[in-house]
Amino acid sequence: MNPKESKELVAQYTEALTDYHEIEFKYNNHEYSLERESEEQYVIWQFEPGANTGTKIATAKTPEEIFELKCFDGKTILEIDDSATDAIVF
């Protein structure tokens, strides 16, 4: 991902999370959900394929912190973006 694409993705995801939207995607045989739980709590959930319940794998106080977390096999969300599939914001 080039720097311009990275900057655009950060802006889109930050806006979505700030407005309490969820971001879901698949990566490396897992499903993930990024969401805002409260005023100062952003969470990343990991789900097994087809599972209804997940595991909270990371938290952050700001949406910007989400992009620094290396919770996807030791990589950040920006580092895995090209390998993630079925991404949706709702």
Q: Where are the beta strands (DSSP E) in 1-90?
A: 23-27, 30-38, 41-47, 55-60, 85-89
By residue range, what is the domain housing residue 26? 3-89
Is pLDDT at 2 greater than 80 in this prediction?
no
Average pLDDT of the residues of the chain: 92
pLDDT at 50: 77
Per-residue pLDDT reduced to its tens digit, 20-79: 999 999 999 899 999 999 999 999 999 987 778 899 999 999 999 999 999 999 999 999
Domain count along the chain: 1
Q: Mark 43-74 as b/e (b = at least 16 C-beta within 10 Å).
A: bbbbbeeeeeebeeebebeebeebbebeebee
Per-residue pLDDT reduced to its tens digit, 12-29: 999 999 999 999 999 998
Is pLDDT at 89 greater than 80 in this prediction?
yes
